[in-house]
Structure 1
Amino acid sequence: MAKDLQEPEKKELTTEEKQKKVRNEIISWILIIAAGFIMALLVNKFVIIKVEIPSSSMENTVMTGDRLIGNRLSYVISKPKRGDIVIFKWPDDRSENYIKRIIGLPNETVTIKDGKVYINHSETPLDEPYLKEPMMPEEDMEFQVPEDCYFCLGDNRNVSEDARYWINKYVPRKDIIGKPLFRYSPKLGLVK
């Protein structure tokens, strides 16, 4: 009876079997690390975008030096809306990414008069509670936003080098990369 309760004797692995076991373990770790690396590359290329804010043109919404994470999939099934902050390829040099707020939508007329923005010749200026300070009046400007393009301005209008001053004034829909979601440095927070 006592013999039946004893554990079966463990078979000693040969050197070759030990080496094979170690080799299989190493291969499994390499595959896990490679899969993680590939997934990180894919997520970075197709799902998220990281940006650092180099200037004060979007203050006080985002500050100089803020680091943001944006969603590249934000506009896959929806269209950008007025008031959205977007990350896009700068129309004057597509190798640079910019971040600004959408003011004018496709086929709209944007008029800037006495430091206020008007859409489609409205009598009422656009409500812009996100502005850092009132825009300094400058010469009147009018922009006719083309089909499938957007007109973008900074929230700190008095210092922003935005669509008012670009050679190519409008951001094509295809050049909008994503929408910032949250700030991860220097402090954590949502971008609105």
Structure 2
Amino acid sequence: MAKGKEKERSKSMLRTILGYILYILVIIGLTWMIVTFVGQRTRVSGQSMETTLQDRDNLIVDKISYRFHDPSRYDIIVFPYKYEENTFYIKRIIGLPGEIVQVKDGYTYINGKKLTSDIYGREVMDEPGIAEEPIKLGSDEYFVLGDNRNHSQDSRDPYVGVLKRSDLLGRAFIRIYPLNKFGVIKHE
């Protein structure tokens, strides 16, 4: 009789251990899915998005919403920098697919008209960069600028240039740090 109880106890312990292992694997799998497909934490580095975002702000990037709708003008997006691995840029969408973008006299023009609704740029732009000449955006291309325009490496810079839709990792969703600024990031 003692052998039967001992055998039953071993089976019970084995089931418990297997249950814990399965539980851990499910948690790891769900975490991987969330980080890969739903959201990602990122940190702002630099002053290119001031005054909207500050150096060292920590954000959650929404990686899923652009699967259901197109990016909009003034969305704050995150994208990988082409020339440096594990480096991501945070900028604001200004030009949309099919539009013609130009920077003239320090201001942005869309299809030949001055963009007057752009309340995010802190100052008149000193350098138009490649946008000195009109840029015709393709059917899946976006033109982005930092809010701190004279201290931003953005679509005016040939190393960044216009972005393809596939380049967009997602849009900035929630600021999680510093805690006194915790909250959803307003895009317009």
Whether the TM-score (by the shorter chain) exceeds 0.5 is yes
Mean Cα displacement is larger for which, 72-81 or 107-116? 107-116
What corresponds to 2:149 in structure 1? 157
Coordinate RMSD, CA, aligned: 1.9
Q: Which one of 161, 184, 188 corresponds to residue 190 of structure 1?
A: 184
Q: Which one of 115, 120, 131 corresponds to residue 125 of structure 1?
A: 115
Higher-Rg structure is: 1
Please state whether the residue corresponding to 2:42 is helix, strand or coil.
Answer: strand
Off by >3 Å, runs of 4+ in structure 1: 91-96, 136-140
Deviation digits for residues 129-174 of structure 1 (CA, Å, limit 9, x no counterpart): 223x222444671322223110011001011111111235110111
What is the rounded CA distance, in whole Å, between the counterparts of 1:60 and 1:97 in structure 2? 19
Distance 1:79-1:103 versus aligned 2 partners, 3 A rule = same
| Structure 1, unaligned runs of 5 or more | 1-12
Contact kept, 8 Å, 2:126 with 2:150, in 1: the verdict is no
Please state whether the residue corresponding to 1:169 is helix, strand or coil.
Answer: coil
Matched, 1:28 2:19: yes
What corresponds to 1:66 in structure 2? 57
Query: How high is the TM-score relative to the length of structure 2?
Result: 0.86
Distance 1:170-1:137 versus aligned 2 partners, 3 A rule = same
Matched, 1:55 2:81: no
**CA shift at 1:19, angstroms?**
1.7
Structure 2 counterparts to residues 166-185 of structure 1, below 5 A: 166-167=158-159, 169-185=161-177
Greater share of residues in helix: 2
Contact kept, 8 Å, 2:101 with 2:137, in 1: the verdict is yes
Contact kept, 8 Å, 1:70 with 1:179, in 2: the verdict is yes
What is the rounded CA distance, in whole Å, between the counterparts of 2:40 and 2:185 in structure 1? 14
Please state whether the residue corresponding to 1:180 is helix, strand or coil.
Answer: strand
| Structure 2, unaligned runs of 5 or more | none
What is the rounded CA distance, in whole Å, between the counterparts of 1:154 and 1:168 in structure 2? 12
Please state whether the residue corresponding to 2:123 is helix, strand or coil.
Answer: coil
Contact kept, 8 Å, 1:47 with 1:73, in 2: the verdict is yes
Matched, 1:100 2:94: no
Letter in 2 for 1:39: L
Query: How high is the TM-score relative to the length of structure 1?
Result: 0.84
What is the rounded CA distance, in whole Å, between the counterparts of 1:146 and 1:93 in structure 2? 25
Letter in 2 for 1:36: I
